[in-house]
Structure 1
Amino acid sequence: MKAIEIFEPGKIGIKERPIPDLKENEVLVKVKAAGICGSDVHIYHGKNVFATYPRVAGHEFAGEIVKIGSQVTGLMAGDRVVVDPVISCGRCYPCRIGRHNVCRNLNVLGVHRDGGYQEYVAVAAANTYKLPGNISWEVAALVEPYTIAAQVIDRGRLTAEDTVLICGAGPIGLILLQAVKMAGAKVAIMDIIETRLDKAGKMGADLVIHAERRDLVQEIMTFTDQNGASLILEATGNANVLETCIHRIASAAGRVVVLGFSTEPPVKIPQVDIMSRELEIIGTRLNNHKFPQVTEWFVKGLVEPEQVISHTFKFHEVQTAFELIDTNPAEVCKIVLRF
């Protein structure tokens, strides 16, 4: 079979590999489509602190089961499935309290071990979720990034009463926007790329803010009648943005959910900002068994993943796809590879 391998940072290509053998609790999935995520781009550029090389990336993928292990029940060849890339130990403290997505021994397909950028993948049956036939493969590949949004709004305890600021209108920001609008909350979104903000406006944002042309703090304070945003979803990974959100934008009793990240520079936050307003600074990572919830969103048409897909490529055109992301970020939202 053919696999897309990142040999080392900056070097990617197609390599022949044997079709994986199956363990008794696994299924063999013939990959049909896989999304390119920002973290995949970071692995390509050598900026993902969790990845090792060589690596078959890809944690957003869907396909068809072609073979099942001897102990697998409830699944059969021909089933259409999406795959949860989160693999946990089940024994450590986070796992024992039901938060396996931050397992001390966490493995993520496509990051810590080989993922979906290959024609066949052997995965634990417990990590697969069935999909109906009326969802296209390209759309099915987006279930995983929507689970990120489901995790974020769960961690942030989103309600229809919230006034939300989303920092970053890239693919995840736009997916967050759909999830927030689905809940009926009022939402603003900021970015510095005009095309992304245009898309956010068309997707229902109540306010779009070009952060290099308008004063972010002033815009949000006007938007919230000087109260500040009750829920901030920080997806840029920019330390200055996070500092501004905590220091000047979050409302009293507000929550700031951090999903974008960088290892440097460190964030500088006066403790009084957190104490005086009883702010909650909340981390979020991956998803905690959100695939059934998001699959229901897709089946019921509660979100519109088609709006997020900007390009599709055949998998052997992966080099072109990654180059497009690097050279034309304003034109790219979500790229899906077809297998």
Structure 2
Amino acid sequence: MKSIVIQQPNQLDIAERPLPEPGTGEVRVRVKLAGICGSDSHIYRGHNPFAKYPRTIGHEFFGVIDAVGDGVSEPRIGERVSVDPVISCGHCYPCSVGKPNVCTSLVVLGVHRDGGFSEFAVVPAKNAWTIPADIADDDAVMIEPFTIAANVCGQVNPTTQDVALVYGAGPMGLTTVQVLKSVYQARTVIAVDRIGERLAMAQRCGADEIFNNSQQSLPAWLEEKGIQPTLIVDAACHPTILPEAIRIASPAARIVIMGFSSEPTTIVQQQVTGKELSIFSSRLNANKFPQVIDWLRQGLIDPGKLVTHRYDASQVIEAIETFEQDQRHCCKVLLTFAK
């Protein structure tokens, strides 16, 4: 089989590898579609501290089960499945409190273990979620990105009273905008970004207001409009955002951080305590695949609004470079492995 392998930073090969056999409790998936994420680019460029090389990247993928290991029911062969990349132990403290996404022995497909940028991938059977017939392939491959938004919202329980502000109109921000508006029906959703074309995407995803913070001050604009956000999501993942979010937040607001920066951030404790703000973080997803599948079945989300480019898997280098370099027009890139 052919697999996309990062041999070392900036060295990508389409390698011929042996067909893997599923072990006990595993299934083999014939991959049909996979999505490119920023973390795939970071592993390719050597910027992901968790990755070990060589590595087959890819944690957003969809396909059909074509073989099962011991302990897995044979009727699963032929199932269309979307794969949750989070593999957890199930018994440590985080797992016991419903947070397998931060398991003490966490393994993420495509990061710690070979992922889905391959013609075939072996994964735990419990991570292969059956896709109903009424969900299209192109939507099924986008389930994992929407689980990121589901995890964010699961932390803060949005309501119809919320005035939500989302920093960043990349894929993470746009899924969050859609979910806040279409699923939770937040009263107002504001998208903030420095790229006009990304803000236009945010409008198509349901944002009520958009703001380009490369041109003027966001705090000044909010003050002029008399807006105090009750829910703020940092999907731009920059260390300068948290201090500003604390400053502009309404009393009793919730703030969610999604970034992984190692740079220090300085905040004023009085501003947090004085407003009794709640600050959360969100990583990956904690068993959110069934929730997103249900949203798709109800027609509450539209993944197609994020997909801007498609490539054959053999064009993966061009696809990643487009994802990295064309931030004005490129949002979600899909790779085709099998028809």
Whole-angstrom distance in 1 between the partners of 2:235 and 2:115: 24
Cross-structure match for 2:303: 305
Structure 2 counterparts to residues 20-59 of structure 1, below 5 A: 20-59=20-59
Q: TM-score, normalised by structure 1?
A: 0.96
Summarize the Cα distance change of 1:21–1:120 in structure 2 as closer, same or farther, 3 Å threshold: same
Percent identity over the alignment is 44
User: What letter is aligned with 1:101?
Assistant: N
Q: Which residue of 2 aligns with 1:104?
A: 104
Whether 1:79 and 2:65 are equivalent positions in the alignment is: no
Q: What does 1:274-285 align with in structure 2 at a 5 Å threshold?
A: 274-285=272-283
RMSD of aligned alpha carbons: 1.3
- How much has 1:219 moved relative to structure 2? 2.3
- Cα offset, 1:138, TM superposition: 2.6
Deviation at 1:258, TM superposition (A): 0.6
CA contact (8 A) 1:138 1:338 kept: no
The separation in 1 between residues aligned to 2:19 and 2:286, in whole angstroms, is: 29
Name the structure 1 match of 2:7: 7
Q: Is the 8 A contact 1:168 1:190 kept in 2?
A: yes
How far 1:30 sits from its partner (Å)? 0.2
Query: For 1:295 and 1:155, how far apart are their aligned partners in 2?
Result: 19
Q: Measure, in 1, the Cα distance between the counterparts of 2:324 and 2:291.
A: 33
Q: Secondary structure at the match of 1:233?
A: strand
Deviation at 1:132, TM superposition (A): 2.2
Specify the alignment match of 2:251 in structure 1: 252
Q: Which whole-Å CA distance do the structure 2 matches of 1:209 and 1:113 have between them?
A: 39
For 2:178, the equivalent position in structure 1 comes to 178
Normalised TM-score (structure 2): 0.96
8 Å Cα contact 1:321/1:335 also seen in 2 = yes
Displacement of 1:8: 1.2
**Offset, 1:35:** 0.3
Alignment of 1:80-229 (within 5 A): 80-182=80-182, 183-185=184-186, 186-223=188-225, 225-226=226-227, 228-229=228-229
Give, as a single letter, the amino acid of the residue that structure 2 aligns with 1:120.
F
Tell me the distance in 2 between the aligned counterparts of 1:281 and 1:75. 45
Q: Contact (CA 8 Å) 2:189, 2:207: kept in 1 or not? A: yes
CA drift at 1:74 = 7.7
Structure 1 residues 42-76: Cα deviation after superposition (integer angstroms, max 9, x where no partner): 11111112111111111000000001123113852
Code of the aligned partner of 2:20 = P
1:263-302 superposed matches below 5 A: 263-264=262-263, 266-302=264-300
Unpaired stretches in structure 2, ≥5 consecutive residues: none
C-alpha separation in 2, matches of 1:3 and 1:58: 10
Q: Tell me the distance in 1 between the aligned counterparts of 2:159 and 2:200.
A: 25
Instruction: Tell me the equivalent position of 1:68.
Output: 68
- Greater mean alpha carbon deviation, residues 105-114 or residues 322-331: 322-331
Measure, in 2, the Cα distance between the counterparts of 1:151 and 1:93. 18
Q: CA deviation at 1:175?
A: 0.7
Q: For residue 115 of structure 1, what is the amino acid of its counterpart?
A: G
CA contact 1:236–1:261 (8 Å) conserved in 2: no
Residue 75 to residue 81, structure 1, CA distance change in 2 (3 Å)? farther
User: Residue 336 of structure 1 aligns with which residue?
Assistant: 334
Partner of 1:262: 261
> Deviation of residue 107 (structure 1)?
0.6
Q: What is the rounded CA distance, in whole Å, between the counterparts of 2:291 and 2:16 in structure 1?
A: 36
Structure-1 separation of matches of 2:214 and 2:20: 49
Kindly provide the CA deviation profile for residues 120-178 of structure 1, in whole angstroms up to 9, marking residues without a partner as x: 11111111111123433232111001011100011122111111000000011111110
The residue type equivalent to 1:124 in the other structure is P
| Partner Cα distance (2:274, 2:73) in 1 | 54
- What is the letter of the counterpart of residue 253 of structure 1? A
What is the CA–CA distance in structure 1 between the aligned matches of 2:222 and 2:289, rounded to whole Å? 33
1:248-278 residue CA offsets vs partner (Å, 9 max, x unmatched): 21111111101123112x1100111111111
The aligned length equals 335
Partner letter of residue 291 of structure 2? Q
Q: Is the 8 A contact 2:242 2:267 kept in 1?
A: no
The ranges of structure 1 where at least 4 consecutive aligned residues each deviate by more than 3 angstroms after the TM superposition are none
Measured after TM superposition, the shift of residue 327 of structure 1 is 2.3
